[in-house]
């Protein structure tokens, strides 16, 4: 059925509604969302729904700093988002796993061929963001943003049924790719779009109203040099609606992976995994 749904048209329509400043439309969308999903507005920096100019501004609401303290240990890599770990594992033969029965290539996912010396294997972690989750994406570990790009064209759903039934789902869907490097290791942060996801907005974008093409151009251009050094916990982007984040680490030998379990709920700022004390 996914193939017959006009995802791009539906997303464009919903994007206009979500960005509408009409008080009736905005209030109706926000109240419907609250009724359906019961979000915890006590965590939000702004909890009065009347203060949000659009549904989008409500959906991408910021949190109070005290609700998501950033793990301070030098060895900790923190979760970049709120969500659920749906897949994780070693990359075998340059292939990642999607929903246990589909595989897709590293090169197709991130847009570059990654070669590791001494047969060191990569490791991936896939985190799904439900509609109720906080939808801003943060830096899991400090480093230099060496590249960014936008890829893909489709906007299929990324829920569990779609993961089971659509091969190469994460390759087909629109996504942004950010590579971060530091003196210890490097990783890719991939933000995958989905049905009704208007755009993935980078942190270096200004606050003007923009079209999808403008965000694509910004991702392909990347941040200016003075903004390429990212700190752990720093906001890197936000989804205009919900989706999926994939972390791909280039050297699994440096990671302590004992804390990872499938279907584990994670919160931004808390420890995702540790670096080994090398």
Q: Which residues are catalytic?
A: 82, 138, 243
Bridge-partner residues for 154, per DSSP? Answer: 173
Q: Would residue 196 be called left, alpha or beta, if left means φ above 0 and alpha means ψ between -120 and 50 degrees? A: left
Per-residue burial over 182-195, b if 16 or more Cβ lie within 10 Å, else e, is eeebbbbbbbbbbb
């Amino acid at each position: 059925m996914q193939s017959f749904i006009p995802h791009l048209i539906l997303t464009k329509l919903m994007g206009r509604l979500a960005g509408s400043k009409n008080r009736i439309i905005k209030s109706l969308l926000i109240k419907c969302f609250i009724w359906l999903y019961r979000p915890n507005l006590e965590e939000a920096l702004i909890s009065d729904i009347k203060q949000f100019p659009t549904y989008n501004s409500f959906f991408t609401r910021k949190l109070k700093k005290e609700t998501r303290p950033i793990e301070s240990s030098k060895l900790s890599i923190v979760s970049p988002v709120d969500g659920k770990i749906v897949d994780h594992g070693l990359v075998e033969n340059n292939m990642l796993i999607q929903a246990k029965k589909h595989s897709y290539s590293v090169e197709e996912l991130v847009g570059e061929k990654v070669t590791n010396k001494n047969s060191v294997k990569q490791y991936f972690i896939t985190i799904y963001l439900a509609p109720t989750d906080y939808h801003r994406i943060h830096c899991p570990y400090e480093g230099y943003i060496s590249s960014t790009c936008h890829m893909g064209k489709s906007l299929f759903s990324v829920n569990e049924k779609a993961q089971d039934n659509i091969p190469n789902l994460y390759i087909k869907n629109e996504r942004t790719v950010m590579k971060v490097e530091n003196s210890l290791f490097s990783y890719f942060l991939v933000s995958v779009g989905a049905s009704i996801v208007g755009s993935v907005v980078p942190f270096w974008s200004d606050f003007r109203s923009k079209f999808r093409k403008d965000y694509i151009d910004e991702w392909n251009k990347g941040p200016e040099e003075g903004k390429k050094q990212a700190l752990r916990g720093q906001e890197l982007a936000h989804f205009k609606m919900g989706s999926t984040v994939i972390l791909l680490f280039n050297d699994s030998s440096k990671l302590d992976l004992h804390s990872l379990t499938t279907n584990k709920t994670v919160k931004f700022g808390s420890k995702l995994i540790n670096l080994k004390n090398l």
